[in-house]
Structure 1
Amino acid sequence: MLKSRFLVTAAAGLLLMAAGQAAAADLTIKMLNKGADGLMVFEPAVVKAKPGDTLHFVPTSPSHNAEMVAGMVPGGVPLAKGVMNKELVVKVTKPGVYVFKCNPHYAMGMVAVIQVGAASNKAAVVAATAAAPPQARRRLTGYLARVN
């Protein structure tokens, strides 16, 4: 009886783990020269993700990259930096707000905000926007207003 109870519990645990992995999504963010928000944008610029989701930053034209902005990610998350003109793939596992930029177009406001689960570090990210270039700061302010 004890052995069968153990097997049922183990099987239930494996099913729950498999269900959690199956629920993970692949999300695509395009790097564009022109989009709904103007020139040099990520689309979508604000993404709601779940822990375990995978982000695909896809360049649609030359001269773009995606990289995390220091001080604008949850604590303890190693910064990811993509190569120019190549897709950057990032699996997000820690809840919080993540800000990505295109390094060559950061001053033009090419930023994206990814909310993974609860936005526990939003206040710190909002404070860090003061150091961003003016156009990036303007877009970030609007994008962060959509994070809850």
Structure 2
Amino acid sequence: MIVEHDNPLERIARAFENKHSVIDRRSFVQQTVSVLCACVLAGGSGVARADDAVSADDRLRVDQITDPSSSSARGMFRFAPDLLKVEIGETIAFMNSRGEHTVHSVKTLWPAGVPEVAISNAEEALVDFPKRGIYPFRCRRHGQYGMVMLVVAGAVTTQELQDFHVLLDEARLKRREKAAFERLLQQAEEQYSV
């Protein structure tokens, strides 16, 4: 079941677009506070289960976000969600790979035998996860700011996580990029390892 909510930000925008509409100060403040609260609540940890990233058409979806209101580069350029658990064989739709946003697999960390991913200039691109493992992605342009994500496919073992740690330590990545992968790997260990 899909529940449609009246978005306060859209309500404010509609009021300003309509020259005959009057929006009083109290209403404006209430709606602005509602929007800010929703943004804070949506901020969360960025960690998601597959059902948290499902779109209206039941497809898993990852967005690429540019948030100029963020106080840090990591928050400004990000995948949403940046950690996702899927079943083997599932497909994710990567959205908004336009402008300078891209989605690329990290070759040195990528599961053996799985085709690498290189997406750019696409409103939507589908990526399959054919075998168990940890799939690291980065934005080529914004990875240096920590714009990375991990997809955990299937039930990964503690050994697979340890092996990924070793590969990550040896990988030639920018400092923020590596730190972001380490943070996500820590979260994956806490939530998804068997």
TM-score (norm 2): 0.58
Cα deviation, residue 85, structure 1 = 4.6
String of CA shifts for 1:71-117, please: whole Å, max 9, x gaps.
Answer: 22221111111123543211111110000011111111110000001
- Number of the residue aligned with 1:123: 162
Query: 66-75 vs 36-45, which deviates more?
Result: 36-45
Q: Is the 8 A contact 1:64 1:102 kept in 2?
A: yes
Within 5 Å, give how 1:20-31 maps onto structure 2. 26-31=59-64
Structure 2: stretches of 5+ with no match in the other structure: 1-57
The structure with more helix, counted as a fraction of residues: 2
Distance in 2 (CA, whole Å) between partners of 1:129 and 1:39 is 24
1:62 and 2:103 correspond? no
Segments of 4+ in structure 1 off by > 6 A?
none
The 1:128–1:51 alpha-carbon spacing in structure 2 relative to 1, beyond 3 Å, is: same
Within 5 Å, give how 1:1-148 maps onto structure 2. 26-34=59-67, 38-59=75-96, 62-120=99-157, 121-130=160-169, 131-147=172-188, 148=193
Query: 34-43 vs 73-82, which deviates more?
Result: 34-43
String of CA shifts for 1:8-28, please: whole Å, max 9, x gaps.
Answer: xxxxxxxxxxxxxxxxx6310
Identity within the alignment, % = 23
Q: Is the 8 A contact 1:51 1:93 kept in 2?
A: yes
Distance in 1 (CA, whole Å) between partners of 2:119 and 2:133 is 20
RMSD of aligned Cα (Å): 2.1
Structure 1: stretches of 5+ with no match in the other structure: 1-24
Q: How many pairs are equivalent?
A: 124
TM-score (norm 1): 0.74
Structure with the bigger RCO (C-alpha within 8 Å, sep 6+) is 1
Distance in 2 (CA, whole Å) between partners of 1:45 and 1:115 is 11
Distance in 1 (CA, whole Å) between partners of 2:123 and 2:140 is 13
